[in-house]
A and B are shown apart, each in its own frame.
Chain A
Amino acid sequence: MIRNYLPSFILLLVFLTGWEAMVRFTEISSLVVPPPSAVFSVLWDGFTTGFLWKHVWVTSATTVIGFLLGCVIGFVCGVILGEIEPLRRLFWPYILAMQVVPKLALAPIFIIWFGFGMKPTVIITALICFFPLLENTMVALDSVTSEKRQLFRMLGAGRWKTLIHLQIPSGLPVILAGVRVAIVLALVGAVVGEFVTGSEGLGASIIAAQGMMDSSLIFALLITITALGLLLYQLVLFFEYWLLSRRVKGKIH
């Protein structure tokens, strides 16, 4: 495992060394491209003084709350629209139109409606997560083989039982693929949402650092955001594995 990643790690060291050397021994201003050493020292200070922790917390909370809201509402709407044909026909053109609207372009109106701070960012994040869940849930519920549907009819299962005991568990891998897409989009939504609406959070800090021409801080924030994204993605993967593990390896221990 570690051995597999060793070449990648060496590549990183080479890259960082080259970058450091380039900044030190050429005319490039460290204001434009900061050396890695400066970035890491800003990062270190940020976490030891607690300055970064506050923003990490705000962005994490925004991402997770928006993600959960968007996923739950997207899933529920996916079930309702997937199961009730007339409703699907009624809403489909509008859903399609809403999906095409760049959600971040809605930020200004959300600021008017909900003020600055976390609330509009959470709503943008939730909206971004809503669509992959809606679409994947609808596809997933519809993808049950006709033999299994007939089996449930023969067993006297009504619509609700078929949904709970057949369609949702059978579509779970597809639904969870939507969740995986949503978590990545959620972080993008939260950070970019903070560009526009926030006074706190990693996105807002990037804008603040830009104002101060503090490129080291911008790089430090980017590294933090990447780490946060990887962490959240891994958590979702772990959750997915936990839910689906039984189908793969069974209960034999």
Chain B
Amino acid sequence: MPNENVFFAIDKASYAFEDGNRVLHDIEWEVPSGAFHCLVGRSGCGKTTLLKLAAGLLQPSSGRISIENQPVLKPSQKVGFVFQTPALLEWLSVLENALLPISLHRRVNEEDRDAARKLLDLVGIADLEARVPAQLSGGQQSRVALVRALVTSPPALVMDEPFAALDAITRDEIQDDLLRLVALNQTTVLFVTHDIMEAVYLGDRVAVVDQGKILSSASISTPRPRDPNCRYDADFAATCQKIRSMMSSNTASAA
């Protein structure tokens, strides 16, 4: 029963490394189009592997992954990937880095440049377009990586702890930049993090991944656009605590 509104459908997917070590077990998950889902979990719980499966960078050992009802057999062009590090090309300017997804395949035209400049402007770094990555701060580099992932307006983004290396204040700011950008085209997002507050602030739904399984999930009802100050509400803290307890209870039983 194909569902029109599902973007990512993960159906009983497992993944094992070549040495037979299984990192994911029978994952069932769906991300509706336009939704923002976060996966939280400890290091090594398999969340990054799950993200790579969803994007088509890896193929599941068993089970099926589909995007808009099409099986994912290779890296999907419908998905922009944002990595743990900005992974910018240090010999290209900010603008050229942002346009890489286009320049790899065809000549860049003025329209493309305007589109990239508009996105750079939305994250507040339009005036840095001629700089090279070595001249940018960590937060600025992350913003360029974000713009690069969105420059072709893909219907979805998958993000692998993209802000983990940033300081707390920069991270708060770039989270708002991200929400603003994905609201433009109702981009579907699958976001991996180990930071529960980040997951609760960004997501519509937060799933807890542990030892290769999705344990449980919670939907977040905070209205959008989100007010940066909602991070200090009692409701917000209660939700974080709820998710934290989902993680701890399992670890206690495993230990």
Contacts of B57 in A (CB 8 A): 150, 153-154
Contacts of A247 in B (CB 8 A): 90-91, 132, 134
Contacts of B84 in A (CB 8 A): 147
Whether A150 lies near B104 (C-beta < 8 A) is no
Which A-chain residue is minimally distant from B84 (CB atoms)? A147
In the complex, B199 has a CB within 8 A of chain A = no
Whether B87 lies near A151 (C-beta < 8 A) is yes
Report how far A156 CA is from B132 CA in the complex, Å.
24
In the complex, B131 has a CB within 8 A of chain A = yes
Whether B130 lies near A251 (C-beta < 8 A) is yes
Whether A155 contacts B101 in the complex (CB less than 8 A), given A147-B84, A150-B57, A246-B91, comes out as yes
Q: Beta-carbon contacts of A238-253 to B below 8 Å, as 1s and 0s?
A: 0000000011101110
In the complex, B89 has a CB within 8 A of chain A = yes
Shortest CB–CB separation between residue B8 and chain A, in angstroms? 15
Whether A248 lies near B134 (C-beta < 8 A) is yes
Contacts of B79 in A (CB 8 A): 154
Of the candidate stretches A86-94, A162-170, A194-202, A208-216, the one touching chain B is: A162-170
Shortest CB–CB separation between residue B73 and chain A, in angstroms? 13
Whether B131 lies near A145 (C-beta < 8 A) is no
How many residue pairs bridge A and B at CB < 8 Å?
A: 61
B interface, over-half SS: loop
List which A115-163 residues lie within 8 A (CB) of chain B: 145, 147-148, 150-157, 161
In the complex, B85 has a CB within 8 A of chain A = yes
Number of B interface residues in the complex (CB < 8 A)? 25
Interface centre among B55, B84, B104, by most A CB within 10 Å?
Answer: B104
Whether A148 lies near B75 (C-beta < 8 A) is no
- Cβ 8 A contact of A166, one of B89, B131, B132: B89
In the complex, B107 has a CB within 8 A of chain A = no
Shortest CB–CB separation between residue A85 and chain B, in angstroms? 17
Report how far A154 CA is from B105 CA in the complex, Å.
13
Whether B83 lies near A169 (C-beta < 8 A) is no
Report how far A147 CA is from B77 CA in the complex, Å.
17
Whether A148 contacts B87 in the complex (CB less than 8 A), given A154-B55, A155-B100, comes out as yes
Whether A145 lies near B87 (C-beta < 8 A) is yes
In the complex, B81 has a CB within 8 A of chain A = yes
Contacts of A157 in B (CB 8 A): 104
Which B-chain residue is minimally distant from A164 (CB atoms)? B104
In the complex, B93 has a CB within 8 A of chain A = yes
Shortest CB–CB separation between residue B99 and chain A, in angstroms? 11
Report how far A161 CA is from B104 CA in the complex, Å.
7
In the complex, B135 has a CB within 8 A of chain A = yes
Shortest CB–CB separation between residue B131 and chain A, in angstroms? 5
Shortest CB–CB separation between residue A2 and chain B, in angstroms? 31
Shortest CB–CB separation between residue A104 and chain B, in angstroms? 38
Contacts of B52 in A (CB 8 A): 150
Contacts of A248 in B (CB 8 A): 134
- Cβ 8 A contact of A156, one of B55, B77, B91, B131: B77
Report how far A211 CA is from B28 CA in the complex, Å.
87
Report how far A153 CA is from B87 CA in the complex, Å.
13
Contacts of B75 in A (CB 8 A): 153-154, 156
Report how far A150 CA is from B130 CA in the complex, Å.
25
List which B65-87 residues lie within 8 A (CB) of chain A: 75, 77, 79-81, 83-85, 87
Report how far A17 CA is from B173 CA in the complex, Å.
69
Contacts of B87 in A (CB 8 A): 145, 147-148, 151
Report how far A151 CA is from B131 CA in the complex, Å.
21
Contacts of A154 in B (CB 8 A): 55, 57, 75, 79-81
Report how far A105 CA is from B167 CA in the complex, Å.
60
Whether B131 lies near A252 (C-beta < 8 A) is yes
List which B155-194 residues lie within 8 A (CB) of chain A: none
List which B129-168 residues lie within 8 A (CB) of chain A: 130-132, 134-135
Q: Which 3 residue pairs spanning A and B have beta carbons closest together? A: A250-B132, A154-B81, A147-B87
A-B contact pairs, 25 of them (CB 8 A): A147-B85, A148-B87, A150-B52, A150-B57, A150-B81, A152-B104, A153-B57, A154-B75, A154-B80, A155-B104, A156-B77, A157-B104, A161-B104, A166-B89, A169-B89, A169-B91, A170-B90, A247-B91, A248-B134, A250-B93, A250-B131, A250-B135, A251-B93, A252-B130, A252-B131
Q: Which residues of A contact B (CB under 8 A)?
A: 145, 147-148, 150-157, 161, 165-166, 169-170, 172, 246-248, 250-252
Q: Which residues of B contact A (CB under 8 A)?
A: 52, 55, 57, 75, 77, 79-81, 83-85, 87, 89-91, 93, 100-101, 104-105, 130-132, 134-135
